[in-house]
Amino acid sequence: MQRSVSHYRNIHSTAALESLGHRVVNNFQAASISSNKLFCSMALARARLPTPKTLLAFTEDSALSSLKSLGYPAVLKPVVGSWGRLSALLKDIDAARAVLEDREYMYPMYQVYYLQEFVKRPPRDIRSFVIGEQTVAAIYRNASSDDWRTNTARGGKAEKCPITSQLDELSLKATKAVGGEIVGVDLMETPDGLVVHEVNNTTEFKNTVPATGVDIPSIIVDYLVSIQKR
Ligand SMILES: Nc1ncnc2c1ncn2[C@@H]1O[C@H](COP(=O)(O)OP(=O)(O)O)[C@@H](O)[C@H]1O
Ligand SMILES: [Mg+2]
């Protein structure tokens, strides 16, 4: 089971292990798709899952015209990243210009502009956990008062979330869309139902176990033992 939270170590060690004939959970393909927000959004859209409107641009000018069509506020995210890091809420064109100008001087990955509509959600999102073919737990992540991002790494507070049939169905379909086996699915609540915004291939669970009472590590171990026997 791949547990490295370093993106590059994660996918490269998985690739190396698979090339030596080992079975890795999640496999290289699932890890490559879900650890890149653009590839993940494309997989979700291809599977016809509800997902926030997302545009892709490669220059400052095309990013600004994409933002014009999305409308402000909008969100700019790095294609590779987690814990909410370097995701920016752009409230107007001046904020957009400032962030885009900074990005122009960063590592080339940061000039792949992944731009998304700002979803009108309550100040929380949902993280569900899928192991094998089961949604085993879910939490709301309630935003702290000083950050628009709800990640627990940003002070978001975990609270047990009921696994409704819609949450279960979308979580399983999103997992399948990226080819994952053990993943965390991020969703937001909109007036028209849930949208899935990403799938996480090396999901953490330290806040979810106490909030839900679900023993995620044991379920993971049982799953890994069961697939070894197959
Ligand atoms: N389009 C959006 N509209 C509103 N809030 C968003 C949007 N995208 C992300 N967020 C908020 O930012 C957080 C981090 O975004 P996410 O895409 O999950 O990236 P990360 O990999 O850093 O967790 C989300 O959990 C959510 O609270
Ligand atoms: Mg996330």
112/127 same-domain check: no
Indicate which atom in ligand 1 lies nearest the CA of residue 117.
Answer: 1
pTM (2 decimals)? 0.97
Across residues 125-129, what is the average pLDDT? 98
198/222 same-domain check: yes
| Contact call for residues 150 and 141 (beta carbons, < 8 A) | yes
Q: What is the CATH number of the domain that holds 194?
A: 3.30.470.20
Across residues 216-227, what is the average pLDDT? 97
Q: Is the CB of 41 under 6 A from ligand 1?
A: no
Indicate which atom in ligand 1 lies nearest the CA of residue 200.
Answer: 21
- Residue 186: the pLDDT is 98
pLDDT category at 75 given cuts 50, 70, 90 is very high
101/181 same-domain check: no
Q: What is the CATH number of the domain that holds 69?
A: 3.30.1490.20
- Residue 230: the pLDDT is 72
pLDDT at 53 over 90: yes
Q: Identify the residue whose C-alpha is closest to ligand 1 atom 15.
A: 84
146/68 same-domain check: no
96/189 same-domain check: no
112/126 same-domain check: no
Q: Identify the residue whose C-alpha is closest to ligand 1 atom 11.
A: 149
Average pLDDT, the chain: 97
The answer to whether residue 150 is domain-embedded is yes
Hey, which residues does 128 pair with through a beta bridge?
138, 185
125/225 same-domain check: yes
The answer to whether residue 27 is domain-embedded is no
Across residues 23-38, what is the average pLDDT? 98
211/41 Cα distance (integer angstroms): 28
- Residue 229: the pLDDT is 76
The answer to whether residue 6 is domain-embedded is no
pLDDT digits (tens, 9 = 90+) for 184-210: 999 999 999 999 999 999 999 999 999
142/183 same-domain check: yes
pLDDT digits (tens, 9 = 90+) for 14-25: 999 999 999 999
Across residues 119-140, what is the average pLDDT? 98
DSSP label at 156? P
129/225 same-domain check: yes
Residue 80, both tokens: 């590779």
pLDDT category at 31 given cuts 50, 70, 90 is very high
The answer to whether residue 219 is domain-embedded is yes
Q: Which residues form the domain of 205?
A: 120-229
Our mutation pick for probing the ligand 1 site, out of 197, 199, 201, 204, counting the most ligand atoms within 8 A of Cβ, is: 197
Residue 213, both tokens: 């009472």
Other Cβ atoms less than 10 A from the Cβ of 8: the count is 10
102/166 same-domain check: no
Across residues 21-43, what is the average pLDDT? 98
Distance from Cα 118 to the centre of ligand 1, integer Å? 9
Q: Is the CB of 84 under 6 A from ligand 1?
A: yes
Q: DSSP E strands: which ranges in the chain?
A: 54-57, 74-77, 88-90, 113-117, 124-131, 134-142, 157-160, 182-190, 193-200
Q: Is the CB of 90 under 6 A from ligand 1?
A: no
76/144 same-domain check: no
pLDDT at 213 over 90: yes
In the chain, how many domains are there?
A: 2
113/88 Cα distance (integer angstroms): 11
144/210 same-domain check: yes
Give the DSSP per-residue string, 93-152. Answer: HHHHHHHHHHHHTS-GGGGSEEEEEPP---SEEEEEEEETTEEEEEEEEEPPTT-S---G
